Homo-oligomer: A and B are copies of this chain.
Amino acid sequence: MASTLHDVARLAGVSIKTVSNVINDYPHIRPATKAKVEQAIADLGYTPNLTARSLRSGRTGAIALAVPELALSYFAELAAAVIEAAEEAGLVVLVEQTGGDRDRELELLRSPRLQMTDGLIFSALGMGQDDAAHLERPYPLVLLGERIFDAPVDHVTMRNVEAARAATEYLLASGRRRIAVVGAHPGEVIGSAGLRLRGYREALESAGVPYDDSIISETTTWHRANGARGMRDLLDRGVTFDAVFGLNDTLALGAMRVLQEAGIRVPADVAVMGFDGLDEAEYSIPSLTTIDPGQRWIARTAVTTLLERIQRTDAAGEPRLLLADFHVVERESAPSKAMIDA
Protein backbone atom coordinates (compact mmCIF):
# COMPACT_ATOMS: atom_id res chain seq x y z
CA MET A 1 0.00 0.00 0.00
CA ALA A 2 2.80 2.32 0.83
CA SER A 3 4.89 1.49 -2.21
CA THR A 4 5.21 3.95 -5.06
CA LEU A 5 6.48 4.01 -8.60
CA HIS A 6 9.74 5.09 -7.10
CA ASP A 7 10.08 1.91 -5.04
CA VAL A 8 9.20 -0.28 -7.97
CA ALA A 9 11.64 1.54 -10.20
CA ARG A 10 14.46 1.09 -7.73
CA LEU A 11 13.74 -2.59 -7.27
CA ALA A 12 13.52 -3.23 -11.00
CA GLY A 13 16.56 -1.10 -11.72
CA VAL A 14 14.80 1.11 -14.22
CA SER A 15 13.57 4.68 -14.25
CA ILE A 16 10.36 5.63 -12.62
CA LYS A 17 8.87 6.58 -15.96
CA THR A 18 9.52 3.17 -17.40
CA VAL A 19 7.44 1.66 -14.65
CA SER A 20 4.72 4.13 -15.42
CA ASN A 21 4.99 3.11 -19.06
CA VAL A 22 4.63 -0.54 -18.23
CA ILE A 23 1.54 0.17 -16.19
CA ASN A 24 -0.02 2.23 -18.92
CA ASP A 25 0.82 -0.20 -21.71
CA TYR A 26 3.13 2.07 -23.57
CA PRO A 27 4.07 0.09 -26.70
CA HIS A 28 7.87 0.31 -26.93
CA ILE A 29 9.16 -1.70 -24.03
CA ARG A 30 11.48 -4.65 -24.29
CA PRO A 31 9.80 -7.82 -23.03
CA ALA A 32 12.69 -8.40 -20.65
CA THR A 33 12.28 -4.97 -19.09
CA LYS A 34 8.56 -5.39 -18.89
CA ALA A 35 8.92 -8.71 -17.10
CA LYS A 36 11.39 -7.26 -14.65
CA VAL A 37 9.06 -4.39 -13.83
CA GLU A 38 6.05 -6.62 -13.49
CA GLN A 39 7.94 -8.84 -11.13
CA ALA A 40 8.87 -5.86 -9.01
CA ILE A 41 5.26 -4.67 -8.99
CA ALA A 42 4.12 -8.09 -7.84
CA ASP A 43 6.83 -8.32 -5.18
CA LEU A 44 5.94 -5.00 -3.66
CA GLY A 45 2.20 -5.38 -4.09
CA TYR A 46 2.26 -2.01 -5.76
CA THR A 47 -0.99 -0.29 -6.65
CA PRO A 48 -1.03 3.09 -8.33
CA ASN A 49 -2.02 6.05 -6.19
CA LEU A 50 -5.28 7.20 -7.67
CA THR A 51 -5.18 10.58 -6.01
CA ALA A 52 -1.89 11.43 -7.65
CA ARG A 53 -3.17 10.12 -10.93
CA SER A 54 -6.26 12.30 -10.57
CA LEU A 55 -4.20 15.37 -9.85
CA ARG A 56 -2.05 14.73 -12.87
CA SER A 57 -4.81 13.77 -15.27
CA GLY A 58 -7.64 15.96 -14.03
CA ARG A 59 -9.94 12.95 -13.93
CA THR A 60 -11.09 11.20 -10.81
CA GLY A 61 -12.99 8.25 -12.20
CA ALA A 62 -15.88 9.08 -9.89
CA ILE A 63 -19.23 10.67 -10.55
CA ALA A 64 -21.68 12.12 -8.07
CA LEU A 65 -25.33 11.23 -7.84
CA ALA A 66 -27.58 13.60 -5.92
CA VAL A 67 -31.03 12.43 -4.93
CA PRO A 68 -33.54 13.77 -2.43
CA GLU A 69 -33.61 10.75 -0.17
CA LEU A 70 -32.26 7.25 -0.59
CA ALA A 71 -34.78 5.80 1.81
CA LEU A 72 -37.49 6.52 -0.76
CA SER A 73 -37.75 3.35 -2.79
CA TYR A 74 -37.88 5.16 -6.08
CA PHE A 75 -34.55 6.81 -5.48
CA ALA A 76 -33.03 3.70 -3.98
CA GLU A 77 -33.82 1.81 -7.15
CA LEU A 78 -32.57 4.69 -9.25
CA ALA A 79 -29.32 4.81 -7.32
CA ALA A 80 -28.89 1.05 -7.62
CA ALA A 81 -29.30 1.28 -11.38
CA VAL A 82 -26.96 4.26 -11.69
CA ILE A 83 -24.25 2.57 -9.64
CA GLU A 84 -24.54 -0.55 -11.72
CA ALA A 85 -24.32 1.33 -14.99
CA ALA A 86 -21.44 3.41 -13.70
CA GLU A 87 -19.52 0.38 -12.62
CA GLU A 88 -19.76 -1.05 -16.10
CA ALA A 89 -18.20 2.14 -17.35
CA GLY A 90 -15.43 1.87 -14.76
CA LEU A 91 -16.72 4.68 -12.60
CA VAL A 92 -17.52 4.80 -8.92
CA VAL A 93 -20.44 6.77 -7.55
CA LEU A 94 -20.55 9.22 -4.71
CA VAL A 95 -24.09 9.58 -3.41
CA GLU A 96 -25.43 12.77 -1.89
CA GLN A 97 -28.80 13.35 -0.28
CA THR A 98 -30.38 16.77 -0.57
CA GLY A 99 -33.62 16.11 1.25
CA GLY A 100 -35.36 17.70 -1.73
CA ASP A 101 -34.51 21.04 -0.19
CA ARG A 102 -33.87 23.88 -2.62
CA ASP A 103 -31.17 25.51 -0.53
CA ARG A 104 -29.30 22.30 -0.06
CA GLU A 105 -29.56 21.57 -3.76
CA LEU A 106 -28.11 24.95 -4.65
CA GLU A 107 -25.42 24.52 -2.05
CA LEU A 108 -24.52 21.15 -3.50
CA LEU A 109 -24.11 22.65 -6.96
CA ARG A 110 -21.63 25.16 -5.58
CA SER A 111 -19.93 22.71 -3.29
CA PRO A 112 -16.23 22.11 -3.79
CA ARG A 113 -16.93 18.49 -2.90
CA LEU A 114 -18.02 18.07 -6.48
CA GLN A 115 -14.41 18.57 -7.48
CA MET A 116 -13.79 15.09 -6.29
CA THR A 117 -15.94 13.87 -9.15
CA ASP A 118 -15.88 14.21 -12.91
CA GLY A 119 -19.55 14.99 -13.21
CA LEU A 120 -22.92 14.97 -11.53
CA ILE A 121 -26.21 13.21 -12.10
CA PHE A 122 -28.63 15.47 -10.39
CA SER A 123 -32.14 14.60 -9.41
CA ALA A 124 -33.55 17.95 -8.41
CA LEU A 125 -36.70 18.25 -6.38
CA GLY A 126 -36.60 21.51 -4.48
CA MET A 127 -35.31 23.75 -7.26
CA GLY A 128 -37.73 25.18 -9.76
CA GLN A 129 -37.81 26.50 -13.27
CA ASP A 130 -36.44 29.85 -12.11
CA ASP A 131 -33.31 28.18 -10.89
CA ALA A 132 -32.37 26.87 -14.32
CA ALA A 133 -29.53 29.37 -14.53
CA HIS A 134 -27.88 27.84 -11.48
CA LEU A 135 -27.29 24.71 -13.51
CA GLU A 136 -25.13 26.50 -16.02
CA ARG A 137 -21.71 25.64 -14.74
CA PRO A 138 -18.50 24.55 -16.39
CA TYR A 139 -18.96 21.07 -15.03
CA PRO A 140 -20.47 17.97 -16.65
CA LEU A 141 -24.01 17.68 -15.42
CA VAL A 142 -26.97 15.52 -16.30
CA LEU A 143 -30.31 16.53 -14.92
CA LEU A 144 -32.99 14.07 -13.88
CA GLY A 145 -36.51 14.70 -12.71
CA GLU A 146 -39.12 17.13 -13.87
CA ARG A 147 -38.67 20.24 -11.85
CA ILE A 148 -36.67 22.08 -14.46
CA PHE A 149 -36.90 22.06 -18.21
CA ASP A 150 -35.09 24.08 -20.84
CA ALA A 151 -32.02 24.38 -18.67
CA PRO A 152 -28.76 24.51 -20.62
CA VAL A 153 -27.87 20.94 -19.64
CA ASP A 154 -28.61 17.42 -20.75
CA HIS A 155 -31.81 16.16 -19.24
CA VAL A 156 -32.91 12.54 -18.99
CA THR A 157 -36.40 11.93 -17.81
CA MET A 158 -39.69 10.15 -18.30
CA ARG A 159 -42.79 10.98 -20.31
CA ASN A 160 -44.86 12.07 -17.34
CA VAL A 161 -47.78 13.59 -19.18
CA GLU A 162 -48.15 10.81 -21.70
CA ALA A 163 -47.68 8.09 -19.11
CA ALA A 164 -50.20 9.58 -16.70
CA ARG A 165 -52.56 10.00 -19.59
CA ALA A 166 -52.10 6.36 -20.51
CA ALA A 167 -52.71 5.34 -16.90
CA THR A 168 -55.92 7.33 -16.78
CA GLU A 169 -57.06 6.05 -20.15
CA TYR A 170 -56.44 2.55 -18.91
CA LEU A 171 -58.76 3.16 -15.93
CA LEU A 172 -61.35 4.79 -18.15
CA ALA A 173 -61.20 1.88 -20.58
CA SER A 174 -61.94 -0.52 -17.74
CA GLY A 175 -65.13 1.38 -17.08
CA ARG A 176 -64.15 3.71 -14.26
CA ARG A 177 -65.50 7.24 -14.42
CA ARG A 178 -64.87 8.86 -11.04
CA ILE A 179 -61.09 8.68 -10.77
CA ALA A 180 -59.71 10.25 -7.60
CA VAL A 181 -56.11 11.46 -7.44
CA VAL A 182 -53.78 11.25 -4.47
CA GLY A 183 -50.60 13.32 -4.29
CA ALA A 184 -51.39 16.46 -6.28
CA HIS A 185 -49.27 19.51 -5.55
CA PRO A 186 -51.32 22.67 -5.26
CA GLY A 187 -50.82 24.95 -8.23
CA GLU A 188 -47.88 23.00 -9.60
CA VAL A 189 -47.50 23.02 -13.36
CA ILE A 190 -44.01 21.67 -13.81
CA GLY A 191 -42.85 18.81 -11.60
CA SER A 192 -43.93 15.19 -11.43
CA ALA A 193 -47.18 16.00 -9.72
CA GLY A 194 -48.14 18.81 -12.06
CA LEU A 195 -47.26 16.92 -15.22
CA ARG A 196 -48.96 13.73 -14.16
CA LEU A 197 -52.05 15.62 -13.18
CA ARG A 198 -52.00 17.24 -16.59
CA GLY A 199 -51.90 13.84 -18.26
CA TYR A 200 -54.80 12.81 -16.08
CA ARG A 201 -56.82 15.84 -17.11
CA GLU A 202 -56.03 15.37 -20.77
CA ALA A 203 -57.29 11.81 -20.63
CA LEU A 204 -60.49 12.89 -18.90
CA GLU A 205 -61.05 15.60 -21.42
CA SER A 206 -60.53 13.29 -24.39
CA ALA A 207 -63.05 10.91 -22.90
CA GLY A 208 -65.53 13.67 -22.15
CA VAL A 209 -65.39 13.04 -18.43
CA PRO A 210 -65.60 16.21 -16.35
CA TYR A 211 -62.71 17.15 -14.10
CA ASP A 212 -63.80 17.42 -10.48
CA ASP A 213 -61.38 18.81 -7.97
CA SER A 214 -63.35 17.46 -5.04
CA ILE A 215 -61.78 14.09 -5.75
CA ILE A 216 -58.25 15.47 -5.99
CA SER A 217 -56.22 15.18 -2.80
CA GLU A 218 -53.12 17.25 -2.25
CA THR A 219 -50.01 16.31 -0.31
CA THR A 220 -46.54 17.63 0.14
CA THR A 221 -43.90 14.90 0.00
CA TRP A 222 -44.62 11.56 -1.57
CA HIS A 223 -44.08 9.46 1.50
CA ARG A 224 -46.25 6.48 2.13
CA ALA A 225 -47.86 8.11 5.13
CA ASN A 226 -49.07 10.94 2.93
CA GLY A 227 -50.80 8.50 0.61
CA ALA A 228 -52.69 7.18 3.61
CA ARG A 229 -53.45 10.68 4.79
CA GLY A 230 -54.64 11.73 1.37
CA MET A 231 -57.03 8.84 1.16
CA ARG A 232 -58.40 9.49 4.63
CA ASP A 233 -58.94 13.04 3.54
CA LEU A 234 -60.95 11.89 0.52
CA LEU A 235 -63.03 9.50 2.60
CA ASP A 236 -63.73 12.26 5.12
CA ARG A 237 -65.02 14.49 2.37
CA GLY A 238 -67.71 11.93 1.67
CA VAL A 239 -67.11 12.11 -2.08
CA THR A 240 -67.69 9.07 -4.29
CA PHE A 241 -65.12 7.55 -6.67
CA ASP A 242 -64.55 4.21 -8.34
CA ALA A 243 -60.79 4.49 -8.92
CA VAL A 244 -57.74 6.15 -7.40
CA PHE A 245 -54.68 7.27 -9.28
CA GLY A 246 -51.79 7.56 -6.86
CA LEU A 247 -49.28 9.87 -8.47
CA ASN A 248 -46.61 7.44 -7.40
CA ASP A 249 -46.56 3.87 -6.11
CA THR A 250 -45.78 4.82 -2.55
CA LEU A 251 -48.81 7.08 -2.38
CA ALA A 252 -50.97 4.44 -4.07
CA LEU A 253 -49.89 1.79 -1.57
CA GLY A 254 -50.63 4.06 1.37
CA ALA A 255 -54.01 4.95 -0.12
CA MET A 256 -54.85 1.34 -0.85
CA ARG A 257 -54.13 0.44 2.72
CA VAL A 258 -56.60 3.04 4.01
CA LEU A 259 -59.24 1.98 1.51
CA GLN A 260 -59.09 -1.56 2.77
CA GLU A 261 -59.13 -0.48 6.38
CA ALA A 262 -62.35 1.35 5.58
CA GLY A 263 -63.86 -1.85 4.22
CA ILE A 264 -63.69 -0.74 0.62
CA ARG A 265 -62.75 -3.56 -1.73
CA VAL A 266 -59.92 -3.16 -4.23
CA PRO A 267 -60.51 -3.45 -7.13
CA ALA A 268 -64.20 -4.41 -6.80
CA ASP A 269 -65.30 -1.09 -5.34
CA VAL A 270 -62.33 1.08 -6.18
CA ALA A 271 -59.50 0.38 -8.61
CA VAL A 272 -56.03 1.63 -7.67
CA MET A 273 -53.32 2.74 -10.09
CA GLY A 274 -49.82 3.69 -9.14
CA PHE A 275 -46.85 5.18 -10.98
CA ASP A 276 -43.16 4.18 -10.86
CA GLY A 277 -43.08 0.41 -11.16
CA LEU A 278 -41.40 -0.21 -7.83
CA ASP A 279 -40.45 -3.70 -6.83
CA GLU A 280 -42.72 -3.59 -3.80
CA ALA A 281 -45.79 -2.74 -5.85
CA GLU A 282 -45.70 -6.28 -7.13
CA TYR A 283 -46.18 -7.76 -3.67
CA SER A 284 -48.87 -5.63 -2.12
CA ILE A 285 -52.35 -7.02 -1.59
CA PRO A 286 -53.74 -6.74 -4.12
CA SER A 287 -50.70 -6.28 -6.33
CA LEU A 288 -50.55 -2.76 -7.70
CA THR A 289 -51.26 -1.86 -11.29
CA THR A 290 -48.76 0.82 -12.17
CA ILE A 291 -46.72 2.60 -14.80
CA ASP A 292 -43.19 1.52 -15.50
CA PRO A 293 -41.65 4.82 -16.52
CA GLY A 294 -38.39 3.32 -17.79
CA GLN A 295 -36.23 3.97 -14.79
CA ARG A 296 -33.44 1.56 -15.69
CA TRP A 297 -33.14 3.14 -19.10
CA ILE A 298 -33.02 6.54 -17.47
CA ALA A 299 -30.22 5.48 -15.14
CA ARG A 300 -28.20 3.89 -17.91
CA THR A 301 -28.72 6.80 -20.27
CA ALA A 302 -27.83 9.33 -17.60
CA VAL A 303 -24.50 7.60 -17.06
CA THR A 304 -23.60 7.28 -20.73
CA THR A 305 -24.67 10.85 -21.44
CA LEU A 306 -22.64 12.16 -18.56
CA LEU A 307 -19.67 10.14 -19.74
CA GLU A 308 -19.94 11.71 -23.18
CA ARG A 309 -19.96 15.15 -21.64
CA ILE A 310 -16.94 14.30 -19.55
CA GLN A 311 -15.00 12.98 -22.50
CA ARG A 312 -15.94 15.76 -24.83
CA THR A 313 -13.27 18.39 -24.59
CA ASP A 314 -15.23 21.13 -26.29
CA ALA A 315 -17.92 22.40 -23.96
CA ALA A 316 -20.23 22.68 -26.96
CA GLY A 317 -22.95 20.37 -28.13
CA GLU A 318 -26.60 21.24 -27.79
CA PRO A 319 -28.19 20.23 -24.51
CA ARG A 320 -30.33 17.19 -25.13
CA LEU A 321 -33.65 16.08 -23.74
CA LEU A 322 -33.83 12.29 -23.56
CA LEU A 323 -37.14 10.65 -22.78
CA ALA A 324 -37.70 7.08 -21.66
CA ASP A 325 -40.38 4.78 -22.98
CA PHE A 326 -43.07 3.81 -20.50
CA HIS A 327 -45.73 1.15 -20.27
CA VAL A 328 -48.68 0.17 -18.12
CA VAL A 329 -47.98 -2.78 -15.83
CA GLU A 330 -51.26 -4.51 -15.38
CA ARG A 331 -51.85 -6.15 -11.99
CA GLU A 332 -54.72 -6.89 -9.63
CA SER A 333 -55.51 -3.51 -8.15
CA ALA A 334 -56.82 -2.32 -11.51
CA PRO A 335 -57.56 -5.07 -13.98
CA SER A 336 -57.81 -4.17 -17.63
CA LYS A 337 -61.04 -4.38 -19.56
CA ALA A 338 -59.77 -7.54 -21.24
CA MET A 339 -59.02 -9.11 -17.90
CA ILE A 340 -62.46 -8.24 -16.55
CA ASP A 341 -64.16 -9.64 -19.64
CA ALA A 342 -62.24 -12.87 -19.31
Binding site for B on A (CB under 8 A): 1-2, 47-52, 54-55, 60-62, 69-71, 73, 76-77, 79-80, 83-84, 87, 92-97, 112-113, 115-116, 137-139, 224-225, 228, 253-254, 256-257, 260-261, 279-280, 282-285
A2: chain B residues within 8 A (beta carbon):
138
Given contacts A1-B138, A51-B54, A94-B62, A80 and B70 within 8 Å (CB-CB): yes
B280 touches A224 (CB 8 A): yes
When all copies of this chain in the complex are counted, the total is 2
- Say what secondary structure dominates the interface of chain A: helix
Contact of A76 among B49, B71, B84, B283 (CB under 8 A): B71
- Expressed in whole angstroms, the Cα–Cα distance for A60 and B62 within the complex equals 13
A48: chain B residues within 8 A (beta carbon):
112
A80 touches B69 (CB 8 A): yes
**24 A-B pairs whose Cβ atoms sit less than 8 Å apart in the complex:** A1-B138, A50-B112, A51-B116, A52-B55, A54-B54, A55-B55, A70-B80, A71-B76, A73-B280, A76-B76, A76-B79, A80-B97, A83-B95, A84-B97, A87-B96, A92-B96, A93-B94, A93-B95, A94-B94, A94-B95, A95-B95, A224-B283, A228-B283, A254-B283
A60: chain B residues within 8 A (beta carbon):
51, 116
